[in-house]
Chain A
Amino acid sequence: MKARLRAAAAALILGGLFVGLLAGVRDLPPIGDPSSPASTHVSPRFIEEARRETGALNMVTAVLADYRGYDTLGETAVIFAAGLGAFVILAASIGGPRRETPGPGLSHRVDSLLLDTAARVLAPFLLLFAVYVLVHGHVSPGGGFQGGVLFGLGLVTLRLVWGPPRPDRAASRFGPGVRASFLLASAGLLAYIAIGIAAMAFGGAFLDYGVLPLGQDPAHVRELATLGVEAAVFVAVSGTVAVLFETIAVGVAETGRPLPNEDPAPVEAREEG
């Protein structure tokens, strides 16, 4: 009875939300209307001036890394926060003591000729393409995040097939690989902040790239600095992707060993699947 009441209440609220949203969107300017406020206020400057003001052909990159570069710093912080959180939640001892018996699943090398060969062929292209996506962000779809995710996934591909970077320390719960990735992630975020503060040191506002002494043409200077912050984002994101993968993979693989603040005795009854 109680459950039915709850379901009825939920249906009512959700139905109300849906109807309310539909009523709301009917009032918005029609989709594609070139005279809508979104198309005529603020955004024209990004379209018409981005090339001259920031040097970027890709207007999305110009807005992302320059006009609204502060959002992108926040975005980098968010992704780093996720890596940090996963690390706190799942990492017991970083580079900790050796484990006596090899763990199951992802903590050791998979012996398969097929996988090994495929990884050897695919990985270099994946990693190279990631860098291409990064540096080409100015003129085509791409940028630090997209490239960083690709690079991180390239690392994960290798990690999946080859096992941890130091097989002799495969047993250590968080080996040098994840440590390095984590350091990389924090270095990326720090580099972004450093670029922002450097601009302040040269008399501009935070992240005001134009004042940096990198050349004569301000648009060109901004273009260079944009590449700099995109690279910082790239490093932070690829590091975090690797950290997230590693902590989650090891967290699953090492089920049964206590984590920090975890009860030593695991629950007996486990469900299947």
Chain B
Amino acid sequence: MTPYALAAALFTLGLGGMVLLPNLVRKLLAMNVMQVAVIVFFIALATKDGGRVPILEPGETEAIAADFMNPLPHTLMLTAIVVSVATTGLALGLLIRIWRQYGSLDERILLSRLRGSGDDATRHGAGDDATRHGAGEPPR
């Protein structure tokens, strides 16, 4: 029960951080917390009382299911970790570009600069309605 509760708490914290924190780097860290929560959950699923690490000794040929931890969730989480690493790497690349162009990673500052930035002029020409872009979006 406890690891499951821990996973639930981490997951909620991570999701909350992603939605509520204004700094994009913190959003990214919160995202990692959320992914770790999923990993904790799966690894808790894999445990088996009286089971050992799912690796045979070199001489061993026969194995009984009850003696070993469940290897499948471990495998799945290896994949999930790689996905998490890959997403984080790409996100860092994006953050560097955002920082280089707008000089800030704070969502509130970014929003004000996006509305006033010259990028709209290169892409959308009409400067007069630059402020209207995104005006109707729901707040995030």
Q: Which residues of A contact B (CB under 8 A)?
A: 2, 6-7, 10, 14, 17-18, 21-22, 25-26, 28, 30-34, 38-40, 42-44, 46-48, 50-52, 57-60, 62-64, 68, 71-72, 74-75, 78-79, 81-83, 85-86, 89-90, 139-141, 143, 145, 237, 240, 244, 247-248, 251-252, 255-256, 259, 262-263, 265-271
- Contacting pair A43 B78 (CB below 8 A): no
- Contacting pair A263 B55 (CB below 8 A): no
Query: A75-B82, A89-B97 known; A39 and B102 CB under 8 Å?
Result: no
The answer for the CA separation of A244 and B16 in the assembled complex, in Å, is 28
The 6 closest A-B pairs by CB, nearest first: A82-B86, A44-B65, A25-B4, A21-B8, A86-B93, A59-B71
Q: List 12 A-B contacts (CB under 8 A).
A: A17-B11, A34-B50, A34-B66, A43-B71, A46-B71, A57-B57, A78-B86, A82-B89, A240-B86, A248-B96, A263-B117, A266-B100
The answer for the CA separation of A72 and B78 in the assembled complex, in Å, is 9
Contact with A along B101-122 (1 / 0, CB 8 A): 1111010010001000111001
Q: Which residues of B contact A (CB under 8 A)?
A: 1, 3-5, 7-9, 11-12, 15-16, 19-20, 44-51, 53-58, 60-68, 70-76, 78-79, 82-83, 85-87, 89-90, 92-94, 96-97, 99-104, 106, 109, 113, 117-119, 122, 139
Query: A43-B72, A51-B61 known; A38 and B93 CB under 8 Å?
Result: no
Query: A57-B55, A75-B79 known; A31 and B4 CB under 8 Å?
Result: yes
- Contacting pair A270 B103 (CB below 8 A): yes
- Contacting pair A47 B100 (CB below 8 A): no
Query: A18-B8, A263-B119 known; A51 and B63 CB under 8 Å?
Result: yes
Among A60, A143, A267, which residue has its beta carbon within 8 angstroms of that of B101?
A: A267
The answer for the CA separation of A60 and B90 in the assembled complex, in Å, is 28
The answer for the CA separation of A239 and B7 in the assembled complex, in Å, is 33
The answer for the CA separation of A2 and B46 in the assembled complex, in Å, is 44
B125–chain A nearest beta-carbon distance, Å: 15
Query: A18-B8, A140-B55, A248-B96 known; A38 and B90 CB under 8 Å?
Result: no
Most chain A Cβ neighbours within 10 Å, of B11, B16, B57: B16
The answer for the CA separation of A14 and B117 in the assembled complex, in Å, is 34
Query: A64-B75, A267-B113 known; A247 and B93 CB under 8 Å?
Result: yes
The answer for the CA separation of A200 and B23 in the assembled complex, in Å, is 49
- Contacting pair A266 B64 (CB below 8 A): no
- Contacting pair B47 A263 (CB below 8 A): no
